[in-house]
Amino acid sequence: MGAYIARRLILMIPTIFGIMLISFVVVQFAPGGPVEQVIAQLTGQGGDATDRFTGGGSELGTGDEFGDSLEGGGANSRYRGAQGLDPEFIADLERQFGFDKPAHVRFANMIWDYLRFDFGESYFRDITVIDLILEKMPVSVSLGLWITLISYAISIPLGIRKAVSDGSRFDVWTSGVIIVAYAIPGFLFAILLIVLFAGGSFFDWFPLRGLVSDNWSELSWPERILDYFWHLALPLTAMVLSAFATTTLLTKNSFLDEIRKQYVVTARAKGLTDRQVLYGHVFRNAMLIIIAGFPAAFISAFFTGSLLIETIFSLDGLGLLGFTSVVNRDYPVVFATLYIFSLMGLLIGLLSDLMYTWIDPRIDFESREV
């Protein structure tokens, strides 16, 4: 097993490198980079993404100095909207963002920094990338962790019950409920919950924004726990509606497939009860495919599945951070989050394989070719 783990860890290096290289190359051809973003903001064509570069504490000068750069008269055809700007001002922007270096040098420097877990500083926020990620992490951890645990806590027992009572009235009506729940978009259900329970047209029982109340630090520990789950109640309800559907049906089909195998007939012929057969023999074999889907379910809920929910409930987490960073072309945040999430995904995949061997010792990854 040690050799298998070592091989998997070594293979993570070219995998991460390939992910970062492809993403970096794609970004080079994407229009509207950070330099264009700043130019658009300063010429009145954008919002507030360049507060760090204009006004107080600017690294490139004040608004008056920018006016002087407009009077420089030089044109720069490399960037859209740069006509009439002082070429020296554009050169300062390129140096600020690191675009004065060739693409291959920038990529090599980025990889070297990431290997040392140095993720740099955000282009448009006066904060390091790692501090920014840690600042948004509690929201995404809360949503991803709880939605995964709740969905599995519902899906596995329900899937087993449906498999045992396959074709019964219980199986039919629960399948109907699951299909309907899966078909309802989570963000629409979230809006319905807000209208009904968060100060919309009916009741005002739950808060509409934030992970905790403003006076959270003043509360006792029991009150903090209650306040935390009070804020999470509606977002988790909106997300869990369809989260357990796929896992429930997967669990049911996996158990049905195992129940129909010959070893189950043999176990029953030896006088074992249905419960002993189900949990002593069928369970560990049927659960392998469920465990295989756990990393994907966790990563999906943790990193991507919460974007709309975070927006609707004003939860400032990693999903919203990643979206705004892509829109604003904040490349240090984009690439750092991609690197961290990809690395975590690969490590969780390895952990999933190790869990295989814990549940079923007959599985031997050591004898497999990776």
15 occurs within a structural domain: no
Last residue of a domain, one of 94, 124, 154: 124
* CATH number of the domain encompassing residue 271: 1.10.3720.10
**Pair (98, 156) in one structural domain:** no
d(CA 328, CA 340): 20
State the residue range of the domain holding 185.
130-327
Say how many C-beta atoms besides its own lie within 10 A of residue 51's C-beta.
15
pTM for the full predicted model: 0.71
28: left (phi over 0), alpha (psi -120 to 50) or beta: alpha
> Are the C-beta atoms of residues 359 and 291 closer than 8 Å to each other?
yes
**Pair (314, 173) in one structural domain:** yes
Q: What does the pLDDT look like over 40-87, one tens digit per residue?
A: 776 665 555 545 444 444 444 444 444 454 444 444 446 655 565 667
**Pair (155, 268) in one structural domain:** yes
User: What pLDDT, on a 0 to 100 scale, did the predictor assign at position 15?
Assistant: 93
**Pair (73, 146) in one structural domain:** no
368 occurs within a structural domain: no
Q: Within its chain, how far is the Cα of 201 from the centroid?
A: 32
Terminal-residue alpha carbon distance, the chain: 12
**Pair (107, 231) in one structural domain:** no
d(CA 44, CA 32): 15
107 occurs within a structural domain: yes
**Pair (243, 280) in one structural domain:** yes
Q: Which two tokens stand for residue 134?
A: 């840690």
Q: What does the pLDDT look like over 144-166, one tens digit per residue?
A: 888 888 888 888 899 999 998 88
Last residue of a domain, one of 109, 124, 139: 124
Tell me how far CA of residue 208 lies from CA of 60, 194, 297, 309, in angstroms.
Answer: 39, 7, 26, 11
Q: What does the pLDDT look like over 304-323, one tens digit per residue?
A: 556 778 888 888 888 788 88
The amino acid occupying position 337 is T
226 occurs within a structural domain: yes
> Are the C-beta atoms of residues 82 and 76 closer than 8 Å to each other?
yes
What is the number of structural domains in the chain? 2
**Pair (269, 181) in one structural domain:** yes
**Pair (252, 117) in one structural domain:** no
For the stretch 320-346, what's the b/e string if a residue is b when 16 or more beta carbons lie within 10 angstroms of its beta carbon?
Answer: bbbeebeebbbbbbbbbbbbbbbbebb
d(CA 365, CA 4): 7
